[in-house]
C-alpha cells in the first residue's frame, strides 16, 4: 500500500542508526579479513535466466537494460581478471517481491573467497554473525544439516527418495495450499515444502546452515558426484527466514551455458520473458574462473533479525510503498 500523504521514513531513526552501524561493522570486518570492496554496474544488457527471479527493466538511449538481481555475474568477471577475494554491498532489484520480508529494491552483501569450500564460508559467516550480534542479541551456536537431514527431521521425508505425491501429502497434512499445476513439479514442490513447512519450524536464534542440495537445485553451484549427486550449495536460515545463499561456484563454461539454455526453456514453458544470456560471464568462465566459493546475504533481513523486527519496512528508510 502506498502512503502518498506520508513523507516520513518507514524506519525509526533508532533503526536507521542501527543499520548504519551494521554497515560500518561489515566493512570493517572485511577490511580486517583481507577482502577488497568493489563496485559493479547496476544496469546490464543481460539478465539472470533463473525461472524464480524476475528482472526489472529500464530504457536508455541504447535500448532496454536490466536492473541486476545480484552482482554475481560482474563479480565473477572481476575474479576471472585476477581480483582476488572481493566483496560488495549494493542495491539489487527483483520484480514481484513485495511483503513482510520482501521489497523490490533491497540491499545485498555478496562476497567470494578463493580456494575455499562452502564449509569454510559457513565458518566465516558464523563468526561475522557472532561479532554483529554481540551486545545486541543472543545467538546460539549454529547447526549444520544436510538438505536430506533437514527434510527428514522437520518434514519426515527423504528428498532423494520420495515422489511428488508424497510431498503433496506432506503439504496437505500441514494445511499448505498447493498452487494449480504444481503437483507434478518436483523441484517447485521441494521449494514450497522448505518455505512453508520447514522454515517456520526452525529456531529463531539459532543459525541453521543447510548444505548439499539436490542436484536439480544446483543453480550456479558445482555438482558433486555423490550417490545421489548433490549440489555444493548452502542456505542459512535465522529468525525464521532465509538469510543467505552460497555456492561452490560453477566454473565450467559449457555446463553454465547448458544451464542457461535449460532455464530459458523452462521460462518459455511457463510463459515468462526470456532475457538475453550474459555472454560476458561465459567469456570470463572461458578465460578461467579461479576455484572459489561465494555467498550473498540479505542485509535488510539481517538488520530485521538484529532489531527483532518482523517487517522489512521497519529497517528501510523508505520502503516501496513510500518510494
The pLDDT value recorded for residue 62 is 85
Burial class of residue 272, CB neighbours in 10 A (0-12, 13-18, 19+): middle
Q: What is the mean pLDDT of the chain?
A: 95
Within 8-127, strands assigned E span: 36-37, 43-44, 56-60, 63-67, 86-93, 105-114
pLDDT digits (tens, 9 = 90+) for 99-150: 999 999 999 999 999 999 999 999 999 999 999 999 899 999 999 999 999 9
What per-residue string of b and e applies to 70-93 under the rule 16 or more CB within 10 Å gives b? bbbbbbbbbbbeebebbbbbbebb
Rounded to the nearest 5 degrees, what angle is found at the Cα of 165, between the Cα atoms of 159 and 169? Answer: 90
Domains of the chain: 13-140+203-322 (3.30.930.10)
pLDDT digits (tens, 9 = 90+) for 208-222: 999 999 999 999 999
pTM: 0.94
**The three grid cell numbers given for residue 42, joined into one nine-digit string:** 547496476
Q: How far apart are CA 206 and CA 275, in angstroms?
A: 38
pLDDT mean over 3-21: 90
The answer, yes or no, to whether residue 49 has pLDDT greater than 60, is yes
**The three grid cell numbers given for residue 271, joined into one nine-digit string:** 510463459
The pLDDT value recorded for residue 3 is 60
Rounded to the nearest 5 degrees, what angle is found at the Cα of 14, between the Cα atoms of 12 and 20? Answer: 105
Q: How far apart are CA 83 and CA 64, in angstroms?
A: 30
pLDDT mean over 190-219: 93
Q: How confident is the model at residue 2 (pLDDT cuts 50, 70, 90)?
A: low
Task: Supply the DSSP string of 239-257, one letter for each residue.
Answer: TTEEEEEEEEB---HHHHH
Amino acid at each position: 500500500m502506498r502512503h502518498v500523504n506520508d513523507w516520513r521514513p518507514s524506519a525509526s531513526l533508532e533503526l536507521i542508526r542501527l543499520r548504519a552501524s551494521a554497515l560500518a561493522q561489515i566493512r570493517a570486518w572485511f577490511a580486517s579479513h583481507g577482502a577488497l570492496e568493489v563496485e559493479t554496474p547496476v544496469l546490464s544488457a543481460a539478465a539472470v535466466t533463473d525461472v524464480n527471479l524476475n528482472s526489472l527493466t529500464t530504457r536508455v538511449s541504447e535500448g532496454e537494460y536490466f536492473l541486476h538481481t545480484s552482482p554475481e555475474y560482474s563479480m565473477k568477471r572481476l575474479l576471472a581478471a585476477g581480483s582476488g577475494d572481493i566483496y560488495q554491498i549494493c542495491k539489487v532489484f527483483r520484480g514481484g517481491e513485495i511483503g513482510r520480508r520482501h521489497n523490490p529494491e533491497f540491499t545485498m552483501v555478496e562476497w567470494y573467497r578463493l580456494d575455499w569450500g562452502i564449509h569454510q564460508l559457513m565458518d566465516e559467516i558464523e563468526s561475522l554473525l557472532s561479532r554483529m550480534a554481540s551486545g545486541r542479541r543472543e545467538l546460539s551456536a549454529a547447526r549444520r544439516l544436510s538438505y536430506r537431514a533437514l527434510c527428514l527431521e522437520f518434514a519426515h521425508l527423504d528428498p532423494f527418495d520420495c515422489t511428488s505425491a508424497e510431498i503433496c501429502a506432506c503439504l496437505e497434512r500441514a494445511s499448505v495450499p498447493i498452487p494449480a499445476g504444481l503437483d507434478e513439479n518436483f523441484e517447485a514442490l521441494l521449494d514450497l515444502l522448505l518455505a512453508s513447512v520447514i522454515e517456520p519450524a526452525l529456531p529463531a536464534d539459532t543459525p541453521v546452515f543447510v548444505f548439499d542440495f539436490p542436484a536439480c537445485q544446483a543453480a550456479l553451484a558445482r555438482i558433486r558426484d555423490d550417490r545421489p549427486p548433490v549440489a555444493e550449495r548452502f542456505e542459512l536460515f535465522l529468525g525464521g527466514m532465509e538469510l543467505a545463499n552460497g555456492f561452490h561456484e560453477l566454473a565450467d563454461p559449457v555446463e553454465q551455458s547448458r544451464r542457461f539454455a535449460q532455464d530459458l526453456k523452462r521460462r518459455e514453458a511457463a510463459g515468462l520473458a526470456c532475457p538475453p544470456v550474459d555472454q560476458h560471464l561465459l567469456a570470463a568462465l572461458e578465460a578461467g574462473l579461479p576455484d572459489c566459493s561465494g555467498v550473498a546475504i540479505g542485509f535488510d533481513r539481517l538488520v530485521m533479525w538484529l532489531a527483532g523486527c518482523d517487517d522489512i519496512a521497519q529497517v528501510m528508510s523508505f520502503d516501496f510503498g513510500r518510494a
